[in-house]
Amino acid sequence: MFKKLGVVALSGALVFSGLSLSSVDAAKPDHAGKGKGNNGKVENVIYMIPDGFSADYATNYRVYKGEDAVWDEYLKGMYTTNSANSAITDSAAAGTAMATGVKTNNGVIGLDPEGNELETILEAAEKAGKSSGLVATSTITHATPASFAAHVDNRNNETEIAKQLVASDVDVILGGGKNNFLPISLGGKQAELNLVEQAEEKGFNFIETRDQLKNIEDLDVEKGDKLLGLFAGDALAPELHRAETEEPSLAEMTETAINVLEEDKDGFFLVVEGSQIDWAGHDNDSAWAMSDVAAFEGAVEKAMEFAKKDGKTIVVVAGDHDTGGMTTGAYGSMELNANVLRNVTATGDYMATQLNSNRSNVKEVVEAHTGLELSEEEVQRIQKAQNASMEINTVVSEHARIGWTSTNHTGADIPLYVYGPQSQKFVGFHDNTDLPRIIKEVMKLK
C-alpha cells in the first residue's frame, strides 16, 4: 500500500541579515497550512535535495529569476557537510549522512566507515508502514538517491545498486539509468540480469517516456501499485535540452510520485534530487546551473502545493554540498547580472560540439545560443582554449558576473529550508547528520 508523508525537505540558501535564526523564524508568520505549524502531525516527508546547491547559488538564482524563490521565506538554518575522512564531502558520503545520521567515507553508500550497514530514514519510514519513493534527473542509481535505499562500499557499482533498489521496498522509482537495469545483450552497460523484468514480476509498472508518465492512468496503475520509470539509458538530459527528448521534467516526476504515494493512508517518504545542478557546477556552467535550479524549483512548487493542501506533510529542501565555489559577483564588478542567463539555450558542452574544426564559427555559435555579443578578445580566447567548453562557460559567467573557485566540491555551509508542521524544530546551525534525526523525531519513527 502507498502511504502519505508529512515532511518535505528543501535545501537552498539565503543571505542572513543580522537577525538571529530564532528571531527570523519568530518574526515570520506560521505558513504550515492545515498542520498549524509547531505541533501539527507529520505523516509525509518530501526530502528535496538540490545537489551542489549553496547560498551563492540561491542568491544568483534570485537575480536570475528576478524575484524570491519559492523556498526563500522558509529558511530555517544552515549546516556543515564534511565526511568521515575528508573536510570536503562527495555525494555518497553526504547522501549517507543525510539519510542515516552517520558520517561515512567519501565514495561509500549506506555503510559506516567500518563497513557496517546503516538503516536509512527512508527504510525506517517503510518499517512504520509508509510508502516510499526516489526521484532524480541523474541515473536513479547515482550516489544521492542510492544513499536512501542501498548499501555498497563503492558508489560506482551502480548495477549492484540497481539490484538492491529492485529488491528493496521502495514503491516509486523515477529517473535515468535504464542501462543499469538491463542485461548487456539488451544494450545495457553492465547488468547481468534483466532487472526490469524482475521489477515487473515484483509488481512494478514499467514506463519509459514522458507521455507514459503523464498518462499512467492508461496503464491501469491502481492504489498500492509500484511504479518504475527509467526515461534514459544514462542520466536525463540537462534541463536546457530536455524539451528535445521524450524525458519528463523533475516537476512532472515529482507530481506523479506524490499522486501515487499519497494513496497510502499510512503516509509516505519521498526523496527528490535535482541532480544536475551539481554537474553544472563541476563544469562552471552558470546557465546550466540556473536552468536546473529553476527546474528544481518547479518540483518544489509541486511538493509545496501538496503540502499546503494536505496539512500533514513537511517539505525539507537541503543541498548535499556546494559544487564549484560559485560567487555572487565577480571580476571586479559591483553589479549582479545573472538575469542574462535566461537567454542561454544550450550548455557550454553542447556549444563546443557545434564548433567547426578550426573554431572559426565561435562567434556565430555562442551568440546564437546565448544572446550575448562577444568581443574579439573573447572569441580568440575560445578559439585558442585547450578546453573550448570550459572557456565558453567562463565567458558566459563573466557576462553574468558569476565567479567560480573550483571544478570540484567545496566545504561551504549549506542553507536549510523547511515548510510544514513542526518546521521550527529545524531552526539553527546543524551538521548534515542532524537532518534525518530531526525528521525521525517529527515523524515519531522508532
- Same domain for 385 and 240, yes or no, is no
Q: What is the pLDDT of residue 23?
A: 33
- Same domain for 147 and 33, yes or no, is yes
- Same domain for 349 and 231, yes or no, is no
- Same domain for 147 and 180, yes or no, is yes
From 385, 400, 415, give the residue that closes a domain. Answer: 400
Q: Are 412 and 54 in contact (CB under 8 A)?
A: yes
Q: What is the C-alpha to C-alpha distance for residues 175 and 233, in angstroms, rounded to an integer?
A: 10
From 400, 416, 432, give the residue that closes a domain. Answer: 400
Count the domains in the chain: 2
Is the residue at 240 inside a domain?
Answer: yes
Q: Are 103 and 434 in contact (CB under 8 A)?
A: no
Helix (H, G, I), strand (E, B) or coil at 94: helix
Is the residue at 333 inside a domain?
Answer: no
- Same domain for 163 and 295, yes or no, is yes
C-alpha cell at 309: 493542501
- Same domain for 139 and 265, yes or no, is yes
Does 147 participate in catalysis according to the annotation?
Answer: no
- Same domain for 255 and 356, yes or no, is no
Q: What is the pLDDT of residue 192?
A: 65
**What domain range includes position 252?**
7-327+406-443
Q: Are 157 and 165 in contact (CB under 8 A)?
A: no
- Same domain for 288 and 364, yes or no, is no
- Same domain for 385 and 272, yes or no, is no
The CATH number of whichever domain residue 44 belongs to comes to 3.40.720.10
Q: What is the C-alpha to C-alpha distance for residues 98 and 7, in angstroms, rounded to an integer?
A: 14
Q: Are 230 and 176 in contact (CB under 8 A)?
A: yes
Is the residue at 2 inside a domain?
Answer: no
Q: What is the pLDDT of residue 193?
A: 76
- Same domain for 373 and 303, yes or no, is no
Q: What is the pLDDT of residue 222?
A: 60
Q: What is the C-alpha to C-alpha distance for residues 249 and 256, in angstroms, rounded to an integer?
A: 11
Is the residue at 332 inside a domain?
Answer: no
Start-end of H helices in 204-361: 210-214, 250-261, 276-282, 286-310, 348-353
Which among 11, 91, 389, 423 is annotated as catalytic?
A: 91
Q: What is the pLDDT of residue 446?
A: 83
> Strand pairing partners for 255?
none
- Same domain for 350 and 437, yes or no, is no
Q: What is the pLDDT of residue 225?
A: 79
The model carries a pTM of: 0.90
Is the residue at 1 inside a domain?
Answer: no
In tens, the pLDDT along 268-288 reads 999 999 999 999 999 999 999
- Same domain for 258 and 377, yes or no, is no
SS (H, E, C) 123-159: HHHHHCCCEEEEEEEEECCCHHHHCCCCCECCCCCHH
Instruction: Give residues with Cβ within 8 angstroms of 400, minimum separation 6.
Output: 60, 286, 287, 337, 338, 340, 341
**Following DSSP, what letter does each residue of 267-294 receive, concatenated?**
-EEEEEEETHHHHHHHTT-HHHHHHHHH
Mean pLDDT per 10-residue run, the chain (446 residues)?
37 32 37 53 97 98 98 98 98 98 98 98 98 98 98 96 97 97 64 86 95 83 80 97 96 96 95 98 98 98 98 98 97 94 98 98 98 98 98 98 98 98 98 98 94
CB atoms closer than 10 angstroms to residue 47: 29
